[in-house]
Amino acid sequence: MKKNKSNKPRLRFFEDSPGQQHIADSDKYLYQRPVPSHNLVIIGTGTIGQEHMRVATLLGRAQIHGIYDTQKHSMDIAEANFSRYSEKPLLRYQDLDSACNDPAVDALFICTPNHTHFEILQTAIKSGKAIFLEKPMATDLQDAAATEAMARAYSSFIQIGLQYRYKAQYVEAFHEALSRASLGEIKTISLSEYRPPFLDKVEQWNKFNANSGGTLVEKCCHYFDLINLLAQSQPTKVYASGGQAVNFIDFERDGNASDIDDHAFVVIDYANGTRANFTLNMFCHDFSEELVVSGDRGRLTAKEVFNFHQQQGSKASLAIEAGELGGSKTIDVTYPALIEQSGHHGATYFEHIAFVDQLEGRSVPAATPLQGLWSMVVASAAQASMASGGAVDINQFMAANGLADYLNA
Q: What is the 3-state secondary structure (H, E, C) of the chain?
A: CCCCCCCCCCCHHHHCCHHHCCCCHHHCCCCCCCCCCEEEEEECCCHHHHHHHHHHHHHCCEEEEEEECCCHHHHHHHHHHHCCCCCCCCEECCCHHHHHCCCCCCEEEECCCHHHHHHHHHHHHHHCCEEEEECCCCCCHHHHHHHHHHHHCCCCCEEEECHHHHCHHHHHHHHHHHHCCCCCCEEEEEEEEECCCCCCCHHHHHHCHHHHCCHHHHCCHHHHHHHHHHHCCCEEEEEEEEECCCCCCCCEECCEECCCCCEEEEEEEECCCCEEEEEEECCCCCEEEEEEEEECCCEEEEEEEECHHHCCCCEEEEEEECHHHCCCEEEECCCCHHHHCCCHHHHHHHHHHHHHHHHCCCCCCCCCHHHHHHHHHHHHHHHHHHHHCCCEEHHHHHHHCCCHHHCCC
pLDDT at residue number 6: 58
pLDDT at residue number 109: 98
In whole angstroms, what is the distance from residue 191 CA to residue 160 CA? Answer: 21
pLDDT at residue number 1: 36
Cβ atoms of 386 and 243 within 8 Å: the answer is yes
pLDDT at residue number 2: 41
pTM: 0.95
Domain boundaries, the chain: 12-163, 165-336+369-406
List the chain pLDDT tens, one digit each, 409 residues: 344 455 778 888 898 899 999 999 999 998 988 899 999 999 999 999 999 999 999 999 999 999 999 999 999 999 999 999 999 999 999 999 999 999 999 999 999 999 999 999 999 999 999 999 999 999 999 999 999 999 999 999 999 999 999 999 999 999 999 999 999 999 999 999 999 999 999 999 999 999 999 999 999 999 999 999 999 999 999 999 999 999 999 999 999 999 999 999 999 999 999 999 999 999 999 999 999 999 999 999 999 999 988 888 899 999 999 999 888 999 999 999 999 999 999 999 999 999 999 999 999 999 999 999 999 999 999 999 999 999 999 999 999 999 999 998 6
In whole angstroms, what is the distance from residue 41 CA to residue 100 CA? Answer: 8
Cα angle 40, 125, 222; round to 5: 75
What is the CATH code of the structural domain delimited by 165-336+369-406?
3.30.360.10
In whole angstroms, what is the distance from residue 320 CA to residue 342 CA? Answer: 28
- Asked if CATH classification 3.40.50.720 holds for the domain at 12-163, the reply, yes or no, is yes
